[in-house]
Amino acid sequence: MMDAFKGKLTQGFSRAVKDLGIALGDFFFPGVCLVCGEDAQSLPLCKECLDKLQPVDEVYTREDLRIRAWARFTYPLDKLVYAFKYNHHRGLARFFASRLAGTIDSDKDYNSADGLVPIPLHPVKKWLRTYNQSELISRALSRQTGIPVFSLLKRNRMTRTQIRLDEDARRRNVAGAFS
C-alpha cells in the first residue's frame, strides 16, 4: 500500500514539475510558436502557421442540431490541440475560445445559443491530465460570449484514445460512454 502511495506522490510531483517548467518557459520565452518554434509575438502561432489554419464555412446539421467548427483539424491545428491536451498548454483555451467566439458572432443562429456543454473526461483521465480541456474552452468561451456553461453530461465509462481511429471507430468507441 505504501508503494502505491509513493507512486501516486511521485507522479503528482513530476506532473507539478512539468507544469512549472511549462509556465517558466512561457514566461521566459513568450511569443514562440507552439508548432514550429519561430517568433510568434503574442500569439500561440507564428504568422505562417496561423495562415495555414483552414477556416470552415460549412454548417453540419442533423435533426435540430447545428454544428460549426472554426477550422479544419489539419496541420497546424492538430499540433495545437495535441499541445493543449497532452503538453499542459492550458493557455490555449483562450485562443481556441476566441476563435470559436468569432464563429459564434458571425452566425446569427449561434448568437442565441442557450448554453455550452463541455464533454466530461473519465475521472482517471482527468486525474492524469489534471484538467478537462473541453471544460477550459467552454469556460473561456462563456467569459467571452456570455453564454452560460452547463455540466449536463456524465461519463459512464472510460474510452480508449481516439487519436488513430477513423470516424466509424470513433463513433463505436464513444457509443454509450455518456448519459
Distance CA 145, CA 107 (A): 13
Is pTM, for the whole model, over 0.85?
Answer: no
pLDDT tens profile 63-106: 877 788 889 999 999 999 999 988 989 999 999 999 999 888 88
Task: Look at the alpha carbons of 134, 92, 48, 105 in this order and tell me if their dihedral is positive or negative.
Answer: positive
Note the pLDDT of residue 78.
94
**AA identity, residue 46:** C
Note the pLDDT of residue 137.
97
Instruction: Please state whether 31 falls in left (phi above 0), alpha (psi between -120 and 50) or beta.
Output: left
pLDDT tens profile 103-155: 888 877 666 778 999 999 999 988 888 999 999 999 999 999 999 999 999 99
